Amino acid sequence: MDVAELIIRQKEYYNSGKTRSLETRLHHLRVLYEGIQRHEADILGALQADLNKSEVEAYMTEIGYALKEISFLMKRLPSLMKPQKVNTPITHAGSKGKIIPEPYGVTLIIAPWNYPFQLAIAPLVGAIAAGNTAVMKPSELTPNVSKVLARIMDELFHSDYIAVVEGGVNMSTELLKQPFDYIFFTGSVAVGKVVMEAAAKQLIPVTLELGGKSPCIVHEDARLDVTARRIAWGKFINAGQTCVAPDYVYVQQNVKEQLLRELQKAIQEQFGVRPLENQEFVRIVSERHFQRLASFLQDGTVVVGGETDASRLMIEPTVLDHISWDDAVMQEEIFGPILPVLTYADVEDVVRTVNAHPKPLALYVFTESEQVQQKIVECISYGGGCVNDTMYHLASPYLPFGGVGESGTGSYHGEQSFRAFSHYKSVLYQSTKWDFKLRYSSSKRALKYI
C-alpha cells in the first residue's frame, strides 16, 4: 500500500466534512460495535493463535472491554460535542467566549502486541467519536490479530476514512514521516522516544501510552490473603504481559514471609498446581521475549514456580525472593510472569526509593492505614493506580488512563478518549454594536481599564 497516497486520500475525505456530524459519528460507532460482535469468533480465534488467550480472558480484557468503551462514549457524545460557553472579563463586555472541540483531522494509531485487539480499538473509538479519520498500525508480533483487524476494518469502513496498515518497524517508520494531524502511540519507552522525535520534526501532537516498572507496595497492616490474591491476578493474567501489571512487590520486611506463603496459595488457586499444564495459561509472545524472561530466573531465589517450557514459550507464574535493586530483573520492565520481591523498613524508604526511579505507569499500595495511603498517593508521582487492588483503575471509564514522565504523556479511556482526539478551540464572539475608543488608546488612563 502506498502510505503517502493513503494519507492524501484521508485528508481529502476529512476536508469534505463527512466525519463531523453527530449522526455520522454515532452511526460509525454503531457499525464498529456490531462489526466486532459479528466477528467475535474470528477475534477470539486470532487471540488464541497469537497468545493462547482463553475465550474468557480474551472476552473480558479485549472484546468486552472494547464494546463497553464504544457504548459508554456513544451515550455521552452529544454532550461532549457541545461547545462550552465561558465567562468573559469586564474588559470584554459585550462579547461571548466559547470552547469548541474540533477533530484533529487525520490520525495515526500505533498499537502493541500484548492486548493487540483492545489497544488498537480503544483509541479508534476516541478517534471516531471526536470526528477524525484514522490509520491503524497493529503489531507485527501478533500477525493473526493484525490480519483480523485489517479484514474487519476493510469490511466496515472505506479506507479513506479508517484504514489498517500492517507491518513492522519499516512500516511504522514510513508512517511516521507522513503529515498526520495527531499520533496516538502505545508501546515501549524506547519506541515512544522514536515516535516523539519523529512527531517533533513536524510538530504533530502526540499521546504516548508507555510502560515501565510499576511497584506494588505491601504495608505491614495489609490484609495479606486478599492482597496476595489481587497481586497474583494482576501480575499473572496475560502471563504478566500487561503494561500496568505489578512489576515488583515492595513489602515491609516483617510481613514478607507471610506474604510469600499467601502468594503461593493464591497462585495455586488461580492457575493450578502445575500451571504449565493449564491449557488456558497465556504464552510468551516470541522466542526473543521468552529468552529475555528466562534469563531473569537466575536472579535471587525462586520461591514459587520457576519452570519453563521453551517449545511452547511458557513460563510458570514465578516469585523471586532475595532480590536486590542491582539484579538484572530490576533494570528493565519485566513484562512477563516473574515477580521479584524486595523489602523496606518504613514508608519514608519507599517514597525515597520509588521517587529515585523513573515515574511508573501504575502504582499499587496495600494498607488499611489512611495515613500510609495518603503518604504514598501524595508523595510519589505515577500515572495512576489503586489502593488495595491492582489494575482495576484501568477498567473504569470514569478514570482517565495514562502515564507521566517516562511512562507516557496524555491519557484516554471513557470521555477522555474523546478529549485526547480533540483540539479545544477557544473563540471570542465579539459584538460590533458598540466600540469604546478607549481600547485603542495607549494613554496611561486607558491602561487602568485593561
Binding region for ligand NAD (CB under 6 A) out of 127-135, 150-158, 180-188, 437-445: 180-188
For 187, what's the count of Cα atoms within 13 Å in the CB-facing half-sphere?
Answer: 24
Q: Give the one residue of 56, 169, 200, 328 binding ligand NAD; rule: CB under 6 A.
A: 169
- Mark the segment that binds ligand NAD (CB under 6 A) among 41-49, 128-136, 168-176, 302-310: 168-176
242: which residues sit within 8 A by CB, 6+ positions away?
A: 114, 115, 234, 391
Q: How far is the CB of 174 from ligand NAD (least distance, A)?
A: 9
The radius of gyration computed from the CA coordinates of the chain, to the nearest angstrom, equals: 25
Residue nearest to ligand NAD (CB): 211
**Measured distance CA(144)–CA(116) in Å, rounded:** 10
Stretch touching ligand NAD by CB under 6 A, among 136-144, 216-224, 314-322, 438-446: 136-144
Please tell me whether residue 113 binds ligand NAD under the rule CB under 6 A: yes
Q: Is 385 in the site for ligand NAD (CB under 6 A)?
A: no
Considering the complex, state which of residue 101 and residue 112 has its C-beta at the smaller distance from ligand NAD: 112
Q: How far apart are CA 113 and CA 103, in angstroms?
A: 27
Q: How far is the CB of 111 from ligand NAD (least distance, A)?
A: 6
Give residues 229-258 in contact with ligand NAD (rule: CB under 6 A). Answer: 243
Closer to ligand NAD at the Cβ: 103 or 403? 403
366 forms beta bridges with: 218
User: How many amino acids of this chain bind ligand NAD (CB under 6 A)?
Assistant: 27
How many Cβ atoms are within 10 Å of 139's Cβ, its own excluded?
Answer: 24
Catalytic site residue from 209, 220, 262, 333: 209
Residue 191 as a binder of ligand NAD (CB under 6 A): the answer is yes
The 282-321 site mask, x for binding ligand NAD (CB under 6 A), equals ----------------------------------------
Nearer to ligand NAD, 101 or 240 (CB): 240
Q: Which of 111, 129, 148, 232 binds ligand NAD (CB under 6 A)?
A: 111
By C-beta, is 78 or 168 nearer to ligand NAD?
Answer: 168
Residues 4-43 that bind ligand NAD (CB under 6 A): none
Among positions 333, 334, 386, 393, the unique one binding ligand NAD when judged by CB under 6 A: 333
- Given the complex with ligand NAD, which of 107 and 114 has the nearer CB atom? 114
C-beta separation of 305 from 319 below 8 A: yes
CB of 145 to ligand NAD, least distance (A): 11
Q: Are 176 and 199 in contact (CB under 8 A)?
A: yes
150 binds ligand NAD per the rule CB under 6 A = no
Answer yes or no: 378 catalytic. Answer: no
Q: 328: Cβ–Cβ under 8 A, 6 or more apart, which residues?
A: 295, 296, 298, 299
| Least gap, CB of 249 to ligand NAD (angstroms) | 18
Hunting for cell 479506507 — which residue is that?
Answer: 159
Residues 206-225 as x/- pattern, contact with ligand NAD by CB under 6 A:
---xxx--------------
Contact segment (CB under 6 A) with ligand NAD among 104-112, 155-163, 307-315, 351-359 equals 104-112
Cβ atoms of 184 and 111 closer than 8 Å: no
| Residue 3 binds ligand NAD (CB under 6 A) | no
Q: Which is nearer to ligand NAD, 81 or 141 (CB)?
A: 141
Q: Please give the residue ranges that form the binding site for ligand NAD (CB under 6 A).
A: 110-114, 119, 137, 139-140, 168-169, 172-173, 186-188, 191, 194, 209-211, 243, 333, 335, 361, 403, 408
Residues assigned a catalytic role: 209
